[in-house]
Amino acid sequence: MATDAQADQPARGERRWQDALRSGLRCLAAGLPDEAISVLDEASSLWPDHLPILQSLAAAHLRAGHASDALTVFANILATNPRDAQALHGKGLALHLLEDRENALNAFRYAVTAQPHAWRSLQSIADITPREEERLDAIARAARLLCHLCEDPAVQPILFVRCMNALLDAGRDENAVGFVRQNFARFEDQSTAYACLARACYETGDYRAALEHRQNSLVFSAPGAAKISPRPQFKPDAAIAALLKVFAIFQASGVTPFLAAGTLLGFHRNGGPLVYDRDVDIGVLSSPGTAPDIYRILREDPGLMLARRARPNDQYFALNVDGTGVDVFIYEQREDKLHCGLGSLPGDIAWRFSAFGLKKAVYGGRTWTVPDNPDRYLAETYGPGWRTPDRAFASVLSSPALFSTDPYARAYYALIRAETSRRIGDVEKARRLLQQSPLPVLLPQINEDTA
């Protein structure tokens, strides 16, 4: 006859794997994937075929960058259920990390076949496919699916943010504004809803409304949400590696890129990237009849990923290259000037420069392509004091080259940049950014402190 201790053994075993799973999920939520792997391995040893444990373990390996280990766990799940859409999606992510684009795409495609509501897999298809028709179709389908899912009264509030972003990705900017207004009370809170409405209004060119809604978002933000972690420190060596990688991609397609904006400022003044920079800037010259197809080059390269909102005629592309932000600007010739900007709508942030050619220059022992009169270019971008470091200077706010830019668009950027600086604790930079706004803007805890 079993003793009480023997009868209690299964219950203790169940508690152990449950405790290990909960601990692993807490580690994942805290951004500690390696710690999560340790406890989830223990949970898996206690119940080897338990799907939630395996899914969590695979996710932990992905976040830790262990793509091969993640792929092994996903394969175990799919051996039992080949149509598990979550595992298929994870398999696609792991294969993409392993630089196997075509098989990653096949995994995402199969996930969509297995689960028609797999909007994440559709968005991943859009992110990595080299085929333009498939990219646009996936973006549009993801937006429609998310709109449909948001009709469910029990849907999680975060899905409304995802849906708004998907509508913008699909170029349905007016629909995004209407969606946020219609579902305003269903967002997580008023601050989030106003922030989404601000972004959607900006993308329609209603910069005044965008600024108003962004300020409302800050008014309704919870005091406990004021601080965020500083962005990862800008690494000059990684920045140079990203520059070399993108330069090589362009040059292989017959395009000559050049150091631009803050990156040229750092190299020309200091011999290398600015240590306080946010990203690296690359320029490409374009003239009538000789416009390079930058969009196609970026889309087709397996090592790069376009923003879903990017389109063929864009003049600006934001990339993430091995953890470093890279901004690519197309400088378009118009009569005797060169124009570049962040968007195509009237009033969006744009700059106009004196026409220039290109030349070679040596910085830090490497030869780079730069504007043929870098001093003039930098003076037009940053003003006559460009030789004096000023980490709070923002070319979207104060550049002498700004051209036909709506003051509300500039004020919107001033508020966004100042808010980010305040939330990471850089109050002085936040004040300096607000001072560059062409219009009065209110940022709680900054304006009051200054008054």
Q: Which of 384, 403, 422 is the last residue of a domain?
A: 403
Residue carrying structure tokens 């009538």: 288
Within a domain: 55: no
What is the maximum span of the chain, computed from C-alpha positions, in angstroms?
97
Within a domain: 252: yes
Q: Are residues 298 and 414 in the same domain?
A: no
Quick: pLDDT tens for 115-126.
989 999 999 999
Q: Evaluate whether 15 touches 38 at the Cβ level (below 8 Å).
A: no
**What confidence score (pLDDT) does residue 233 get?**
74
Quick: pLDDT tens for 388-403.
999 899 999 999 999 9
Torsion angle of C-alpha atoms 162, 134, 326, 237, degrees rounded to 10: 110
- CATH number, position 216: 1.25.40.10
Quick: pLDDT tens for 157-173.
999 999 999 999 999 99
pLDDT at 430 over 60: yes
Q: Are residues 207 and 344 in the same domain?
A: no
Q: Are residues 298 and 206 in the same domain?
A: no
Q: Are residues 388 and 376 in the same domain?
A: yes
> CA gyration radius for the chain?
25
Quick: pLDDT tens for 346-390.
999 999 999 999 999 999 999 999 999 999 999 999 999 999 999
Q: Evaluate whether 361 touches 376 at the Cβ level (below 8 Å).
A: no
Please report the sign of the dihedral spanned by the C-alpha atoms of residue 153, residue 159, residue 161, residue 166.
Answer: negative
Within a domain: 96: no
- CATH number, position 368: 3.30.460.10
290 C-beta neighbours (distance < 10 Å), count: 8
Q: Evaluate whether 341 touches 399 at the Cβ level (below 8 Å).
A: no
Q: Which of 403, 422, 439 is the last residue of a domain?
A: 403
Q: Are residues 317 and 368 in the same domain?
A: yes
Instruction: Look at phi and psi of residue 123 and say left if phi exceeds 0, alpha if psi is from -120 to 50, else beta.
Output: alpha
C-alpha–C-alpha distance, residues 386 and 400, integer Å: 11
**What confidence score (pLDDT) does residue 229 get?**
56
Q: Are residues 311 and 363 in the same domain?
A: yes
Number of domains in the chain: 3
C-alpha–C-alpha distance, residues 220 and 395, integer Å: 29
C-alpha–C-alpha distance, residues 331 and 287, integer Å: 8
Within a domain: 449: yes
377 C-beta neighbours (distance < 10 Å), count: 25
Within a domain: 129: no
Q: Are residues 352 and 445 in the same domain?
A: no
Residue carrying structure tokens 């695979």: 58
Q: Are residues 247 and 392 in the same domain?
A: yes
Quick: pLDDT tens for 71-102.
999 999 999 999 999 999 999 999 999 999 99
Least confident of 23-27, 181-185, 262-266: 23-27
Within a domain: 264: yes
Q: Are residues 334 and 391 in the same domain?
A: yes
DSSP state of 185: G
Pairing of strands 257-259, 337-341: unpaired
C-alpha–C-alpha distance, residues 195 and 190, integer Å: 8
Q: Which of 167, 202, 225 is the last residue of a domain?
A: 225
DSSP E strands in 308-363: the ranges are: 316-321, 324-334, 337-341, 350-354, 358-363
pLDDT: which is higher, 113 or 49:
113
Within a domain: 134: no
Query: In which band, very low, low, confident or very high, does the pLDDT at 231 lie, cut at 50, 70 and 90?
Result: low
| Paired tokens of 425 | 């604790």
Q: Are residues 390 and 249 in the same domain?
A: yes
Q: Are residues 365 and 292 in the same domain?
A: yes
Give bridge partners of residue 281 from the DSSP assignment. Answer: 327
Angle at 249 between CA 246 and CA 255, to 5 degrees: 100
Q: Are residues 443 and 392 in the same domain?
A: no
C-alpha–C-alpha distance, residues 180 and 6, integer Å: 58
342 Cβ contact partners less than 8 Å away, ≥ 6 residues apart: 316, 348, 349, 350, 396
Q: What is the domain range of residue 268?
A: 236-403
Within a domain: 59: no
Q: Evaluate whether 320 touches 305 at the Cβ level (below 8 Å).
A: yes
